[in-house]
Amino acid sequence: MPDIQSPLVGTVRSLSAVPDELFAQGVMGPGVAIDPPDEVVDAVAPIDGTLLQVFPHAFVVVADDGLAVLVHLGLDTVQLQGEGFTVFAAKGDRVSAGTPIIAYDVPAVRAAGRATIAPVVVLERSSEDVTVLAALDAGIRPGLPLLSV
């Protein structure tokens, strides 16, 4: 199974650093979070697959083997109703790892008072199934290995 690539540029953080209990406690699934720089960045597909869901602030890609990865851009960003996000892809689209899905206006989201950290979690897997490949608290950019299942 190919590695899950980073969907964003930024600094890799432990999920426990996410100021949201569901993500921090791993309820949503195992993974990491990426703290993006204060600029507009593209969120890209972390794996090859089909977009199961696409919202302005989040998306899920499912690989042909059923592996599903959630990328959630910021916290409580659903309340922004799309402000600060530009969506490039739609539910049902086939994507390759690295395909831009959403442009994320980090300064606009921060100005709206929302946390901008972006959890990247593997759905329906346990923490024992997932290995973090990237160094925590280190910089990363899209396309670099992030997680292994």
Question: At 24, which CATH number?
Answer: 2.70.70.10
Give residue-wise pLDDT tens across range 33-57.
999 999 999 999 999 999 999 999 9
Has residue 145 been placed in a domain? Answer: no
> What does the pLDDT read at residue 1?
63
**Structural domain includes residue 149:** no
Structural domain includes residue 147 = no
The whole model's pTM is what?
Answer: 0.97
Would you say residue 82 lies in a domain? yes
Beta strands in the chain (DSSP E): 4-5, 10-14, 31-35, 40-44, 49-55, 58-62, 68-72, 85-87, 94-95, 100-105, 118-123, 131-132, 139-140, 145-148
Residue 77 located in a structural domain: yes
Q: pLDDT by residue (tens digit) across 74-112?
A: 999 989 999 999 999 999 999 999 999 999 999 999 999
**Domain that residue 19 falls in:** 4-140
Catalytic entry in 36, 44, 63, 72: 72
Return all residues near 138 (Cβ < 8 A) that are at least 6 apart: 11, 12
Structural domain count of the chain: 1
Q: Is position 72 annotated as part of the catalytic site?
A: yes
Residue 57 belongs to some domain of the structure: yes
Model confidence at 17, pLDDT cuts 50, 70, 90, reads: very high
